């Protein structure tokens, strides 16, 4: 057994503190210096020689925070850390996971290559946009599932007419897993996009009349899809509509869209720090989930118990 040390990047410090507290250790001492032009220089203010090091950083907004994480990994390796695990609660660029049109980048694979080249020995993340992104890595990857957070919350609501909805065809498998667990039906919102973040048309496949609908997604960005889906579902006679999304990216007019929508609430986790507060947004923490996963990794035990 080697000594375990946890460190945080600048983007996820609050979550990292909660993870460390749940794990039972204090965050390690790390300084991120910056030159006047924004160039970053991380340095460890304590020895990590021979230690198993966990570096906690969500890569949103992606570019600077991804670079900072890579520099932290490199610094830890050059300081003779035994193993370096990149804990990435939100894995940026995951939406670009395939070549869906000519002459585009598969950015999710490129990020995997960058993290590997930086020297990461292991990756830990939560609810990737597509599960097959795990195959982009040639090193161990622990893919945690937000259902461990959301299922107990939904059970506590005690909704009698519960039904789940996928906001698009790509989210069917995710919504079906919730429907199967609760032994209820599901519906699908079929959408067509003109371009990224812009919906041309949408229709609901399935019956939602008199139902309390829960939309399931991995992330919410501008909230355009969720809000339009919620409106159509309510127009079809639903009692209520709420949405669950692990990662609250919430860019552009997201907060305005959510406030003006028919959504009862949007439930997200703290993988990404909220830019502002909203009465319609409820935040659940993933700190204990990640702390338990780190315990399992360092103790060489299975993480299967963390999945529902």
Q: Which residues are catalytic?
A: 191
Burial class (CB in 10 A: 0-12, 13-18, 19+), 206: middle
Under 8 Å between Cβ of 257 and 223: yes
Q: What distance in Å separates the CA atoms of residue 34 and residue 53, rounded to the nearest whole number?
A: 23
Sign of CA dihedral 126, 76, 10, 297: positive
Q: What distance in Å separates the CA atoms of residue 271 and residue 89, rounded to the nearest whole number?
A: 5
Q: What distance in Å separates the CA atoms of residue 112 and residue 114, rounded to the nearest whole number?
A: 5
Sign of CA dihedral 104, 106, 108, 109: negative
Maximum CA extent, the chain: 62
| 299 backbone φψ class: left, alpha, beta (φ>0; ψ -120 to 50) | alpha
């Amino acid at each position: 057994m080697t000594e375990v040390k946890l460190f945080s990047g600048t983007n996820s410090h609050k979550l990292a503190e909660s993870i460390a507290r749940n794990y039972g250790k204090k965050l390690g001492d790390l300084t991120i210096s910056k030159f006047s032009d924004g160039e970053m220089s991380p340095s460890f203010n304590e020895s990590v020689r021979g230690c198993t090091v966990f570096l906690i950083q969500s890569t949103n907004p992606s570019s600077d925070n991804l670079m900072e994480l890579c520099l932290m990994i490199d610094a830890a390796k050059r300081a003779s850390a035994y193993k370096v695990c990149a804990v990435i609660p939100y894995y940026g660029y995951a939406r670009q996971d395939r070549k869906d049109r000519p002459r585009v980048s598969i950015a999710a694979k490129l990020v995997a290559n960058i993290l590997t080249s930086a020297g990461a020995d292991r990756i830990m993340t939560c609810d990737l946009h597509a599960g097959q992104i795990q195959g982009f890595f040639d090193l161990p990857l622990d893919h945690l599932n937000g259902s461990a957070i959301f299922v107990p919350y939904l059970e506590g609501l005690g909704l009698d007419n519960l039904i789940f909805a996928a906001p698009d065809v790509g989210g069917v498998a995710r919504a079906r897993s919730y429907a199967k667990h609760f032994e209820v039906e599901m519906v699908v919102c079929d959408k067509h996009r003109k371009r990224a973040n812009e919906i041309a048309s949408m229709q609901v496949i399935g019956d939602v009349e008199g139902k309390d609908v829960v939309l399931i997604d991995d992330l919410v960005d501008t909230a355009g899809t969720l809000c339009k889906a919620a409106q159509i579902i309510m127009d079809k006679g639903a009692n209520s509509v709420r949405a669950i999304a692990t990662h609250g990216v919430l860019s552009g007019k997201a907060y305005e869209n959510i406030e003006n929508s028919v959504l009862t609430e949007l439930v997200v986790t703290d993988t990404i720090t909220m830019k502002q507060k909203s009465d319609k947004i409820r935040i659940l923490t993933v700190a204990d989930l990640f702390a338990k996963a780190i315990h399992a990794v360092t103790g060489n035990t299975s993480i299967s118990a963390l999945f529902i």
